[in-house]
Amino acid sequence: MSIVLVGISHHQAPVELRERAALDRTRAAELAQALAGGQGEAVCLSTCNRTELYLADESGDAAEGKAEAALLALESELGPALYRLRDEEAALHLFRVAAGLDSMIPGEGEILGQVRIAHEAGATGPLLDRLFRQALQAGKKARSQTAIGESPASVSSAAAALAEQVFGDLEGRSVLVVGAGKVGELAIKNLVSRGATIASVVNRTGQRAEELTQRFGGEALPLDRIEEELARADVVLSSTSAPGWVLTREQVARALPARKGRPLFLIDLAVPRDLDPAIHELEGCYLYDIDDLEAVVAETLAGRRREAERAETIVAEEADRFRAWQASLDVVPAITSLRARAEQIRDAELRRAKLNDAERRAAESVTAAVLNKLLHLPTIRMKQAAAAADGVIYADAVRHLFGLEDER
């Protein structure tokens, strides 16, 4: 059985091409079932950065052809961006993906869950089930034994991490959101995941603000309510497309007496900036713009890359283990046939012997022990040879020497 991988990713394909091959969970599961065809094995892993098809089949060429055809059916222009891997290389690739080593941001956490979902939704058998389970194990080990996933690795996550440092704990902290675009939404998710509470969303148009408050809580308000909301906010997160200051130093200064000395953390993710830089001069106000946050991300990414080197070693060890296991599959049928033939001979000879019940039990115990000891070393040597790529030769020799060819 061969493992075949055909896919596209952010390394070769721009987003406008990847999005045409992106599949939701239902469609990915349906494609995996169709490729498996009831008897084969297939898994479809589709994320914002990749769409990959994993197949296990007796014919690697046939499986690769099916996978290519399936991807080209999604988008005919994918051809030049497709990559194809088999067996050991396919396994190592998946292990690196699960560990976050093949991601745009090393160690990003979402991919491990996405690999798990793809595995659960796929049409797996012994080979792909083992492959994906070991990939998940490799991903967990890389995260538990290195710090690859600990530091914030995006502007949005850096903003939430810095807010947590300012307050020590974001549990129950109140967030005023100014602007309701995608960038702000990502930051909201990170803040909420750390325990913060969305108090209000201020936006030029009400519909988008309403959508965010329905998902994350809080009250949707017009832009002219910003100043009065400052009195109760612990965090201000701003990401509008306004041409000038959305919030000035004077507005914040007027709100400070009502705050009674409580610190105010302000995050400006807009370009051009929303928040007057002079706000940072006010007592108890901590203002970070996107350049500040990108510097934090650059620093943490450097640390992640160092940790990624350690994670690569862990992943390579797991891939070697899988390669040895897959290679041993070539000799397992020969080992099974040899043991079955030996048991058949032992049983036949015991039947010929005229033994009472007690003698038969003793003879069965002794002959079983002899048989196990006799076959133990050949079994170990065949599995070792399989890991060194000589397993097929050993297996064929055993079949020939013991006349097992007809039992294949």
Catalytically active residues, by annotation: 48
Contact at 8 Å (CB) between 308 and 148? yes
Calpha distance 63→14 (Å, rounded): 26
Residues making up the chain, counted from first to last:
408
**What six digits make up the tokens of 223?**
């832009």
- E strand or H helix at 9, and its extent? strand 2-9
Calpha distance 249→255 (Å, rounded): 10
Exposed, middle or buried, 329 (CB in 10 Å: 0-12/13-18/19+)?
Answer: middle
Q: Which residue has the tokens 């043991």?
A: 339
**How many angstroms separate the first and last alpha carbons of the chain?**
15
Contact at 8 Å (CB) between 379 and 335? yes
Q: For the chain, what is the radius of gyration of the CA atoms?
A: 30
- E strand or H helix at 190, and its extent? helix 182-193
Calpha distance 180→206 (Å, rounded): 9
50 three-class SS: strand
Contact at 8 Å (CB) between 103 and 304? no
Q: What DSSP state is assigned to residue 178?
A: E
Q: Is the dihedral of CA 259, 261, 263, 267 positive or negative?
A: positive
* Residue (of 45, 53, 89, 46) closest to 315 by Cα position: 89
DSSP calls for 245-294: -SB-HHHHHHHHHHHTT--EEEEE--SS-SB-GGGGGSTTEEEEEHHHHH
For residue 151, give Cα distances in angstroms to 147, 183, 300: 8, 19, 6
